[in-house]
């Protein structure tokens, strides 16, 4: 019987050499940043902020194996590697070891996998005989396009933005944790309306998961390198957004929630926030979670490029 990873402090895998898996802590940020900084990444998942927020949904463990940082996510279904091992050089021995670790947990070996492989790493895994399949795409927009909304292709976005400016009195403010409860309340009302419009089980579960990760992000906001903004109308928080620096020229927007009944509010906070991010050339608006409607919304901002993420599995698990 394959043992599950225990909760709590650490876990030592009983294998030759021994691999100690540590439970992810906010104090590990420095170590993660060092390894993440060894290469330039365009996928939004390659940031400590976008790893740590998932602690409410997964048990997250990590270990440095052969000079490679390996990050394991585990839930009731099984265990997988969230990112490709982070190192200066790819090491076939590390890949073998991480699959051994996952197999120790997963009764079904087909669950053992490495997610969010970048396109530049495909030839390495294919050369080792692994199967690579597309998982998703991150949408990357030019910041200048989002800030200026010039041309016919952004005509409807400009119209919504201008409607909001004309019809509402508002305050546009730096994000503050004193509004933490208001943000969660806004999310709950927003999610309630979304659930009414889309009653699919998977979508509703995604909304619940997103709420858990949002709470975790807000609970740890001071320790994470988030930048955010709020909109108040009639002394109530009606929209908020925040994100993080992904690389030297790309900022990633992790969350944007706006009151669905206020026309133009979403377009307003998105445009204003992007206008302020002058030090960046690109805005990563993340993937579409496999949702056709979300895909349509993201494409409506005319991304400059789509960055693929892949899943790596063994051909015969």
B/e letters for 246-264, b = 16+ CB within 10 Å, e = fewer, are bbeebbbbbbbbbbeebeb
Q: How far apart are CA 195 and CA 183, in angstroms?
A: 18
Residue 9: what pLDDT? 32
Confidence of residue 200 (pLDDT cuts 50, 70, 90): confident
pLDDT in tens, 158-185: 999 999 999 999 999 999 999 999 999 9
Residue 198: what pLDDT? 86
Q: What is the average per-residue pLDDT within 114-138?
A: 97
Q: What is the pTM of this model?
A: 0.93
Check whether 311 has a pLDDT greater than 80: yes
Residue 317: what pLDDT? 61
pLDDT in tens, 187-199: 999 999 999 988 8
Region of 5 on the Ramachandran plot (φ > 0 left; ψ -120 to 50 alpha; else beta): beta
pLDDT in tens, 223-270: 999 999 999 999 999 999 999 999 999 999 999 999 999 999 999 999
What is the CATH code for 138-308? Answer: 3.40.630.30
pLDDT in tens, 68-116: 999 999 999 999 999 999 999 999 999 999 999 999 999 999 999 999 9
Residue 15: what pLDDT? 45
Average pLDDT along the chain = 94
Contacts of 2 (CB under 8 A, 6+ apart): 103, 104, 105, 106, 107
Domain topology for 11-128: Aminopeptidase (3.40.630)
Domain locations in the chain as residue ranges: 11-128, 138-308
């Amino acid at each position: 019987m394959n043992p599950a990873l225990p909760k709590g402090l650490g876990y030592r895998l009983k294998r030759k050499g021994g691999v100690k898996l540590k439970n992810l802590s906010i104090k590990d940020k420095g170590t993660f940043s060092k390894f993440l900084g060894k290469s330039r990444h365009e996928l939004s998942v390659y940031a400590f902020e976008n790893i740590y927020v998932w602690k409410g949904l997964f048990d997250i463990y990590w270990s440095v194996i052969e000079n490679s940082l390996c990050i394991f996510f585990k839930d009731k279904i099984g265990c997988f590697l969230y990112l490709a091992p982070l190192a200066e050089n790819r090491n076939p021995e590390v890949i073998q070891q991480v699959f051994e670790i996952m197999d120790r947990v997963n009764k079904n070996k087909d669950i053992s996998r490495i997610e969010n492989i970048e396109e530049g790493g495909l030839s390495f895994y294919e050369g080792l005989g692994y199967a690579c399949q597309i998982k998703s795409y991150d949408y990357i927009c030019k910041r200048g396009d989002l800030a200026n909304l010039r041309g016919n292709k952004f005509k409807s976005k400009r119209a919504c933005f201008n409607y909001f400016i004309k019809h509402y009195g508002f305050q546009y403010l730096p994000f503050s944790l004193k509004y933490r409860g208001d943000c969660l309340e806004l999310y709950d009302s927003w999610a309630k309306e979304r659930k009414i419009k889309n009653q699919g089980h998977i979508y509703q579960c995604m909304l619940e998961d997103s709420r858990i990760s949002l709470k975790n992000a807000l609970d740890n906001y001071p320790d994470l390198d988030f930048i955010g903004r709020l909109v108040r109308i009639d002394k109530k928080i009606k929209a908020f957004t925040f994100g993080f620096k992904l690389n030297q020229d790309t900022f990633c927007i992790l969350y944007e929630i706006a009151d669905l009944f206020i026309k133009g509010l979403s377009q307003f906070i998105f445009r204003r926030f992007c206008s302020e991010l002058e030090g960046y050339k690109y805005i990563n608006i993340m993937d579409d979670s496999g949702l056709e409607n979300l895909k349509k919304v993201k494409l409506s901002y005319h991304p400059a490029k789509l960055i693929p993420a892949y899943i790596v599995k063994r051909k015969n698990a």
